[in-house]
Structure 1
Amino acid sequence: MKFTHLHVHSHYSLLDGLAKIEDLVTRAKELGMDSLALTDHGNLYGVIEFYKKAKAAGIKPIIGCEMYIAYEDMHQRRPNIDDKRYHLTVLAYNNQGYHNLVKLVTKAHLEGYYYKPRIDKKTLKEYSEGLIALAGCFSGEVAHAVKNKKNDIAERLIAEYQDVFGRENFYLEIQPHFNFPDQMEINARMAELSKKTGAKLIATNDIHYVSPDDSEAQDILVSVQTGTKIDDENRLTMKNANLSMRSPEEMLALFPDTPEAISNTQEIADKVNINIPLGSWVFPDIKIPKGTTFDSELERLTYEGIAKRGLEKTPEIESRIQYELDIIKDKGFAPYFLTVADLLAFSHNQGILTNVRGSVAGSLVTYLIRITNINPILFKLPFERFLNPERPSAPDIDMDFADNRRDEVIQYAKDTYGEDKVAQIGTFGTMMARAAVRDVARALGYPYGVGDRIAKLIPFGSQGFPMTIAEALKITPELKELYDRDTDTHTIIDRAQKLEGCVRHISIHAAGVVIAPKPLSEYVPLQLDPKGDKKIITQYDMYSVEDIGLLKFDFLGIRNLAILEDAVRLVKYFRKIEVDIEKIPMDDKKTFELLTRGETIGLFQLNGSGMTHYLKELKPTTIHDINAMVALYRPGPIESIPTYIERKHNPRLVQFFDPRMKDILSESYGVVTYQDDVMLIAIRLAGYSWLEADKLRKAMGKKIPAEMAAQKQKLIDGFMKNGMGPQKAEGLWRLIEPFAAYGFNKAHAASYGMVAYQTAYMKANYPGEYMTAVLTADSGDTEKIAEIIAECMRMGIPVLPPDINESFAKFTLIREDDPGNDKIRFGLETVKNVGVPIVEAIIVSRKKNGKKFSSLTDFVERVQHKDLNKKSLESLIKCGALDEFGERGLLLGNIDTILEYARENQKNVSQGQTSLFSLSPEINVSSIKMKPKPAATKKERLAWEKELLGLYVSEHPLEEYKEKLQNKVIPMVDLKNQPKNRLLSVGGLVSSMKKIMTKTGSPMLFVTIEDLTGKIEALVFPRMLEKNPTIWQEDKVLIVRGKLSDSERDNSLKLLCEEVSEVL
């Protein structure tokens, strides 16, 4: 007898289901099944992955969801009433049913969410066409009535569900989980109710994992979800039930008295006929002039762009345009290009700075319609890297916006294309190796240190290549030895491997947005961002979204574009100069001199000690030098930088491995620099097509040994067929192999290089404006602020504490005459305990009255705000914002008098009287009977600044130690570029300490040490502490020697102390 599993949870039933979809499909195939359902809890996250993998395996996919049925109305949220809900297994049996299921799940999330995404029967009935429902597990509504001996209610409920779905489409579910309370009784009563009501029986196993051996791992997974340990008696657990994928024979044996419950599963499977169209594109409904087509409109805009870009209609340009347009039209992508152009046109009109990354910069069409800002002909960028006749995938245009204005562009998309047609894309976070080890150890009841010790032995993966436990065991002898020797480690790692890769949560993709021609719920299930900010996201990830034909638009917020935009605004305000950042000269002498001096702090892509070192050696003179550095300063290609620099300064050293490579590598002095170089070498020297070259690129990027070996042989064979000897062919492979995983797209490097140049240009030509913008962008990061302030001081731009008369909300540029005398003040919003409403009131008062505050009295009279209380006024005094009205110690000591005056004044004004100040002209600060108070000490002033602004501003306690530390220590800002395995010294002020007791009962310290550029936490272990127990004190200046280590908790650097000395 054939049987189909219709109640199946994958790991997309978050932290509840353990089974990966591929494993479910594989197991079903092994058991001889020809169909399988997926019914995750309240979501459709895995549907497209399941659909594709089941189809590929020859298994009919049945798409479903175990939904949560609201107690009454899904829109009600009454505490202790509407938090009750029931389970219902809903399956789609045709395309209309699939679309209705998508809409139901969307409504459950967007309208019915209350602890869980809920739906009610009224809404179910509205969207019931094409759907089958199973009454659910023991948490189903019918089962609940049965458990409570309410047979009449059970019969009524069955009738209600039969009315919702149709009499033939509602089944009573029985399950073989006989260890669950009441399960046998529920099954017996369901059989009776089936006979009485005509609702057919269906047998399901509530699958949460593939094999019975996975039971413990799934139990641990539930403990991770609930934050409990597996030995907690009162926790949620399913360990007593077999929730694996049982064979048809097992299921039949478990229900000998109701064989129809087995055969009915196949009845449902046979009824299912769903076809989800994949691979055909759906474009936004972009408006174009009447009488035109998308193709003709794109062509018109392209030719208009020639003159707008200041170009001439040469044969070369016209030929390139027609070549590109023919490919774009042939592939039907004109609407996509027009939509991107529309979004960027809005941004340009609103003054929002943009940049477009990736291979799209190789398109002349996109340059002419103002999608990109780089002329691909000047930069020799190939269009085929972006789009070619052989490439099956859609074009990918990554749009960057100033990060503080990105949401404006998304809102424009919603306003233009429809609020219900635009959403951000969801993305799934999975349990990575280290986290899985720690989670498992905690759930099994081990102390934190046990799991932490094992996790620390697992190396970090590289970008795009996460480390797995299996790989770590292969490459880390210490971990393998511990695994083989220690029983606890063996247990933890074995369990963790089963949890590794399970989906842990859904969140918003950093950039991805979808825009559809019809409401999105026609295509994809939606939900709210779990963070609670009311943003709507797709339940399908970027891959599934593209599978169903929705093109992904990348809207990425970039901090450096916000910096440029702010700097341009400041230049216009202070210098009355309009800087068009897209039209700045590309041969600016000041810019290249700044880079040659290595003044790279605050620049995009070019900062950091390693990059700065190479720039000083390179002495760049063209934008191509910058692009090359952006591309080469990566693992692998970085080894070519010295050769690049040497050949730039000595052209006689330029050589080409093969004369045919000269046209490809002439700009980079014969050095293989970009991914495109590798692809063009394969095309021109090995006879590859663009499609084959793209496969080579992808294989090299994945670093899969078998793929790499196959590509190596194919490439070498191609070289030899095209006239190269075997030894030379092998040598050329070795030349390009370092680009295996880290080679940079040339168009991408050109896009990033352009922004890098723009930031360098603004810093070189408008230093005050630029550094003010950098400080504002980094205002939430005190370590970065410290680094930028140090750079400002080096540039001769003082950074001063806030001032009640000069500061605005953000960092404020102060220019009294010459730009050479610029200074920057902290913004008022940077002061702790001073909220936005007070800051706005201060600024509004200054603007409204057209004058500064003349005295403290004037200030408290004009700024009458409920939030100007003792705490906020005290903070303004302590940080120095009121220094011009009196010494800080004096003002602080009389704060109650000042506040009393403010209250009396406010009372008089509210009663219609004039202010106390105007009534008594002789009253000023001193006449408010200010009592003499001791002046604040320098130490107090600096401590207050640190407390309220996050760092020392007017002066740093380390200033007097500068010479003593010079050349003896590495600045904190440069530590991230230092190796982890060698001793180094840092020097600075002890700003905080924390003592803990180790497991052996010995004390150790966590000591924060800071210098003028940043800070680091030093770990002082018991042995080290015993040697120097009294040297570790706050405010002492120390030189600490030790080795760097990565923190496991926050991925920050730590210093493992081995020596310490005091600087006197």
Structure 2
Amino acid sequence: MYLNCHTYYSLRYGTFSEIELLELAKKNNVPTLALTDINNTSACLNFIRKAKDFNIKPIVGIDFRNGPKQVYVGIAKNNEGFKELNGFLSHHSEKKIELPELAPIFDNCYVIYSFERALQLEKENFAENEFIGIPIEELRKLRFSKLKNLKNKLVVLQTVTIRSKKDFNAHRLLRAIDKNILLSKLEKSEECKLTDSMFSTLEIHEAFEDFPNIIENTNTILNSCHIEFNYGEDRKSQNLKLYTDSVEKDYKLLESLCKDNLYKRYADPNEKVLARLKTELDTIKSLDFVSFFLINYDIVSYAKSKGYFHVGRGSGANSIVAYIIGITDVDPIELDLYFERFINPFRASPPDFDIDFSWKDRDDVTDYIFRRFPHTALLATYSTFKYRAVVRELGKVFGLPKEEIDKLSTGNYSVPQLDDISQLVLRYGKLIEGFPNHLSVHSAGILILDKPIHYYSATDLPPKGFPTVQFDMIIAEDVGVFKFDILGQRGLAKIKEALEIIKENRPEVPAIDINNVEAFKKDKNINDLLKSGGAIGAYYVESPAMRGLMQQLQTQDYIGLVAASSIIRPGVSGSGMKEEFIKRHRYPENRRNGHPILMQIMPETYGVMVYQEDVLKVANQFADLSLGEADILRRGMSGKFRSRQEFIAVEEKFISNCRKKGFSDVLIFEVWNQIKSFAGYAFAKGHSASYAVESYQSLFLKCYYPLEFMTAVLNNGGGFYSVEHYLHEAQKQGATICPPCINRSDHPNRLMGKSIYLGFGYLKNLETYTVQRILSERQLNGHYNSLDDFIDRVTISIEQVTILIRINAFRFTNRSKSELLWQAIFKLNADGTKSQQSKLFKIQHREFKLPKMESNWVEDAYDEMELLGFPLCNYFRLVNGAIENGILASQMKDFIGREVLIYGSLVTTRFNKTSQGKLMRLSTFIDVKGDYFDAVHFTDVVDKYPINGLGVYACYGKITDRFDFYSMNVIWSTKSSILPDPRNT
């Protein structure tokens, strides 16, 4: 009897999930119901999937509304009808146009106008598929309406939006949040009715007993609707099935690509290579994943044709087929990559290919995919209400003062001292927390389907400009829709730009083959950067944690870097396996601690689980689970799908099988807990290896072309560290850092010889149009000869030219900044106005004689801090007072276990949580010589001695040693004051 039910995917309107809707229906003995969210189909696929668990027949549709006003409800008769509704909604939402007052002619849908709407429209003629919906409360009006004569057109339309008064209150709060108004200002037209709730089937029949025809018409609709998607074990891939025009041609193409490219990857392929290739091809063919490989190959081929760099990673990087045809650059034979992690006969989903492109190239690749394949869309993700954010929103809705809202959102309160309104805010904040707030775009997922996208979902058109479905990755996989991951990252852009800068700055250098990674892996100088922590700027290996880990491991080869890339992940680290791996790696005698069976399964990692495929190996070889069961275990722990009964069954079988094999419970649960703690947070080995390949390319450039590489790093948004720190690193490599210059700088940074000229883009208040005028004029008519020449040629205000003078962009004139400022004021209108017209004749400027004005480097530093955000001089130079009695970072090894003082300039700092959930702080500094040291503020001192921004800190603490990596446990720290600005004293 229910043809109009909402969930909380009726965004900022509904009050419960699709599962709770099904629970409500079961409780009220409702055998069939329609989910019709407002202008949204996010919940439909999961509603259909879960309905059979409740023995309920699912029907889906859309409640079409213009703002709060319902125009009609569309109900899909079947899958084709769902597609029609989705297409209709998408057309209007993508073009941002209102829905028409009258529904179009649908072939496979029912249209229901509310009783109220039918009266307003004075609609008397209804199409065969059109009906009038009557809620219980409108029955009294129906008795006196001429519409009662349309007996064949009347159906029950009892809307379900809430379950209780509490839900109604939450609904009103959501509406006020949506409208950004006080709750007291919310109009009744924006709300649902208090009667918009579910009644039992018996209550519905009793309410409509005088109108049996309405019940009969409603049942006719309910019985005639049927929608189905295959789920679980029955699901079939909905991805594009054919790349060419037949299965046979697809396979022949994949086979020929492997044959044509085999010798490019393996000059003399041995039996192991050929056997692995045949096994993979046979498996890919038997599981119908051929088109999946060909589509990825097509995408990568397009990128290569445009000169774009890419990295293929994910579990697909374990594949020799992917390696041979160029999707990935990781040799699975060299690394002994586990075939069954990439694919196995029990796996229903295709392998993951995460394909990274430069952040500058990704949009073009995405655009190509949409042009190349017909049924394509971006995947969605749900942005949900976070507790602190919803408390702030509710505080505003209730009209609380800002101070009170701040107190509630930060948790800085005592509940007994709160008034009733504040307690309501907290109570409803807990209720609304986790509700979807708005749809967003998945960071990487693209769907390439066999059928039109609207067969599955309505689409929106977010700012990216590509149609985006309304469901997320988990729902997609449930129904057999598997995403292609197309990502953008800055590491590849750094490599590409570094090569371009080398070509420009050092034309004598022969062309560099950046893909010659095999040579890079064997280069001692490059490997020394890893174990010494000298990888600043290199993608993925530059963070303090990674730098410290590689020093602890003394990583000095490719295999070691692959392991480090996965060990650094939170699961491996948090489970204690990181510590155990380091011990067994550094001190071989500790390898005796490994269980013989685990040592046999994972000899390369000394019996320690490091990679995702280790879960498969251990489950299969240690606990005798089938590969299918092992894959359920891995996927269940990775969080890629919700907790399922099948996962619990596998867990029980794991424990049972181990007991049958005679393993002790201590060993069984030690291994199980290791799997449980890290499976979702470790990398597949091929994935780690892909990162490692890119890291070696970056490290090659950092090692041999450090200035060009650091310039490229700066021009592509840096990485883990601040701009200031990358400039420090460039200086360490021999660069001279120059402030922006009118004649030499560009918008990005520019390397000339060994000088890096900072780009105009760093000047926070310099307008974009000003930069464009400066660069365009310079390109057309050459360098500027003087301030006068600049003023004649560039339309600029006194405020804008002041910024350029204060940053010393006119230093080529050899005049002081003070003198230039006065000259600019005299020569430009004081009110900043200036004609936009170019001057027909060059004007003669008067020369003003000014007294000599003193200035010094401290003034320059303050100007730089204000305009750039950081000084170009060393922070140590700015310290106001002597730096005495401290040791250097290089001396820490001589003071293990002792308390010492070190002065450090802050590089980066972050909070972390202890195992007890308390806050601690991890900071990285450089000492007066430019060497790094790490310091930890544990929970007992973290609040007492805060870190307040960049600058030099006196750090006093105890030196610790972790596998020859030295750091400080801080006892106290204090920030040093800096020299005052002479202009203010």
Specify the code of the residue in structure 2 equivalent to 1:694. D
Cross-structure match for 2:384: 430
Q: Distance in 1 between matches of 2:472 and 2:767?
A: 39
- Please show how residues 886-925 of structure 1 align to structure 2 within 5 Å: 886-899=815-828, 911=840, 913=841, 915-916=842-843
Specify the code of the residue in structure 1 equivalent to 2:204. M
Match 1:210 to one of 149, 160, 163: 163
Q: Distance in 1 between matches of 2:952 and 2:599?
A: 57
Kindly indicate whether the alpha-carbon contact (under 8 Å) linking 1:894 and 1:930 is maintained by their aligned counterparts in 2: no
Match 2:559 to one of 624, 631, 638: 624
Residue by residue over 1:457-486, the C-alpha shift from the partner in whole angstroms, topping out at 9 and shown as x without a partner, is: 69xxxxxxxxxxxxxxxxxxxx9x959999
Q: Distance in 1 between matches of 2:447 and 2:856?
A: 59
Cross-structure match for 2:866: 947
Q: Which is worse superposed, 22-31 or 667-676? A: 667-676
State the shift of 1:839 in Å. 3.2
Cross-structure match for 1:596: 531
State the shift of 1:808 in Å. 1.8
Q: State the TM-score, normalizing by the size of structure 2.
A: 0.84
Cross-structure match for 2:891: none
Kindly indicate whether the alpha-carbon contact (under 8 Å) linking 2:876 and 2:905 is maintained by their aligned counterparts in 1: no
- 2:763 maps to 1:828: no
Q: Distance in 2 between matches of 1:276 and 1:706?
A: 20
- 2:956 maps to 1:975: no
- 2:740 maps to 1:802: yes
Q: Distance in 2 between matches of 1:60 and 1:671?
A: 49
Cross-structure match for 1:667: 604
Kindly indicate whether the alpha-carbon contact (under 8 Å) linking 1:109 and 1:527 is maintained by their aligned counterparts in 2: yes
Kindly indicate whether the alpha-carbon contact (under 8 Å) linking 2:912 and 2:922 is maintained by their aligned counterparts in 1: no
Q: Distance in 2 between matches of 1:25 and 1:222?
A: 24
| Residues 110, 640 of structure 1: alpha-carbon distance in 2 compared, 3 angstrom cutoff | closer
Q: Distance in 2 between matches of 1:541 and 1:904?
A: 53
Cross-structure match for 1:129: 107
- 2:343 maps to 1:377: no
Residue by residue over 1:521-542, the C-alpha shift from the partner in whole angstroms, topping out at 9 and shown as x without a partner, is: 455321111xx45442112323
Cross-structure match for 1:542: 473
The 3-state SS of whatever aligns with 1:66 is strand
- Please show how residues 21-170 of structure 1 align to structure 2 within 5 Å: 21-68=18-65, 87-111=71-95, 113-114=96-97, 118-119=99-100, 121=102, 124-125=103-104, 127-136=105-114, 138=116, 140=117, 142-143=118-119, 145=120, 154-155=121-122, 157-159=123-125, 162=126, 166=127, 168-170=128-130
- Please show how residues 347-358 of structure 1 align to structure 2 within 5 Å: 347-358=303-314
Cross-structure match for 2:218: 265
- 2:631 maps to 1:694: yes
Specify the code of the residue in structure 1 equivalent to 2:653. K
- Please show how residues 244-643 of structure 1 align to structure 2 within 5 Å: 244-255=197-208, 257-276=210-229, 279-284=235-240, 288=244, 293-418=249-374, 421-444=375-398, 456=410, 491-516=424-449, 519-529=452-462, 532=463, 534-575=465-506, 576-584=509-517, 585=519, 586-638=521-573, 639-643=576-580
Specify the code of the residue in structure 1 equivalent to 2:219. Q
The 3-state SS of whatever aligns with 2:99 is strand
Q: State the TM-score, normalizing by the size of structure 1.
A: 0.78
RMSD: 4.2
The 3-state SS of whatever aligns with 1:172 is strand
| Residues 542, 728 of structure 1: alpha-carbon distance in 2 compared, 3 angstrom cutoff | closer
State the shift of 1:304 in Å. 1.5
Q: Distance in 2 between matches of 1:392 and 1:285?
A: 14
Residue by residue over 1:741-790, the C-alpha shift from the partner in whole angstroms, topping out at 9 and shown as x without a partner, is: 53332222222222233323321222101111111122799x71122223
Kindly indicate whether the alpha-carbon contact (under 8 Å) linking 1:10 and 1:19 is maintained by their aligned counterparts in 2: yes
Q: Distance in 2 between matches of 1:211 and 1:37?
A: 20
The 3-state SS of whatever aligns with 2:722 is helix
The one of the two structures with greater contact order (alpha-carbon pairs below 8 A, sep at least 6) is: 2
Note the residue ranges of structure 2 that are not aligned, 5 or more in a row. Answer: 888-900, 926-931, 935-942, 958-969, 980-985
Match 1:242 to one of 191, 195, 199: 195
Specify the code of the residue in structure 1 equivalent to 2:785. S
Q: Distance in 1 between matches of 2:73 and 2:944?
A: 62
Q: Distance in 2 between matches of 1:291 and 1:358?
A: 26
| Residues 491, 291 of structure 1: alpha-carbon distance in 2 compared, 3 angstrom cutoff | closer
Specify the code of the residue in structure 1 equivalent to 2:320. L
Q: Distance in 1 between matches of 2:299 and 2:590?
A: 47
Q: Distance in 2 between matches of 1:87 and 1:94?
A: 22
Q: Distance in 1 between matches of 2:673 and 2:230?
A: 44
State the shift of 1:360 in Å. 0.8
Residue by residue over 1:410-444, the C-alpha shift from the partner in whole angstroms, topping out at 9 and shown as x without a partner, is: 112123235xx332222111223444444445545
Q: Which is worse superposed, 576-585 or 558-567? A: 576-585
Kindly indicate whether the alpha-carbon contact (under 8 Å) linking 1:216 and 1:239 is maintained by their aligned counterparts in 2: no
| Residues 659, 1034 of structure 1: alpha-carbon distance in 2 compared, 3 angstrom cutoff | closer
The 3-state SS of whatever aligns with 1:7 is strand
Kindly indicate whether the alpha-carbon contact (under 8 Å) linking 1:969 and 1:987 is maintained by their aligned counterparts in 2: no
- 2:824 maps to 1:871: no
Say how many residue pairs are matched.
923
Match 2:810 to one of 882, 896, 918: 882
| Residues 255, 939 of structure 1: alpha-carbon distance in 2 compared, 3 angstrom cutoff | farther
State the shift of 1:385 in Å. 0.6
Residue by residue over 1:779-811, the C-alpha shift from the partner in whole angstroms, topping out at 9 and shown as x without a partner, is: 799x71122223223333232211122212211
- 2:692 maps to 1:761: no
State the shift of 1:693 in Å. 1.4
State the shift of 1:378 in Å. 0.7
Q: Which is worse superposed, 649-658 or 668-677? A: 649-658
Q: Distance in 2 between matches of 1:490 and 1:50?
A: 34
Q: Distance in 1 between matches of 2:73 and 2:922?
A: 63
Q: Distance in 2 between matches of 1:534 and 1:390?
A: 38
State the shift of 1:518 in Å. 5.8
Specify the code of the residue in structure 2 equivalent to 1:597. S
The 3-state SS of whatever aligns with 1:506 is strand
Q: Which is worse superposed, 542-551 or 397-406? A: 542-551
Kindly indicate whether the alpha-carbon contact (under 8 Å) linking 2:911 and 2:921 is maintained by their aligned counterparts in 1: no
Q: Which is worse superposed, 514-523 or 40-49? A: 514-523
Q: Distance in 1 between matches of 2:331 and 2:531?
A: 26
- Please show how residues 723-734 of structure 1 align to structure 2 within 5 Å: 724=663, 729=668, 732-733=671-672
State the shift of 1:682 in Å. 2.3
- 2:131 maps to 1:171: yes
Kindly indicate whether the alpha-carbon contact (under 8 Å) linking 1:514 and 1:552 is maintained by their aligned counterparts in 2: yes
Match 1:774 to one of 696, 713, 719: 713
State the shift of 1:35 in Å. 0.8
Kindly indicate whether the alpha-carbon contact (under 8 Å) linking 2:637 and 2:680 is maintained by their aligned counterparts in 1: yes
The 3-state SS of whatever aligns with 2:34 is strand
Specify the code of the residue in structure 2 equivalent to 1:596. K
Q: Distance in 2 between matches of 1:978 and 1:448?
A: 29
Q: Distance in 2 between matches of 1:339 and 1:27?
A: 44
Specify the code of the residue in structure 1 equivalent to 2:608. V
| Residues 265, 322 of structure 1: alpha-carbon distance in 2 compared, 3 angstrom cutoff | same
Specify the code of the residue in structure 2 equivalent to 1:714. K
| Residues 714, 434 of structure 1: alpha-carbon distance in 2 compared, 3 angstrom cutoff | farther
Q: Which is worse superposed, 482-491 or 751-760? A: 482-491
Cross-structure match for 1:814: 752
The 3-state SS of whatever aligns with 2:443 is strand
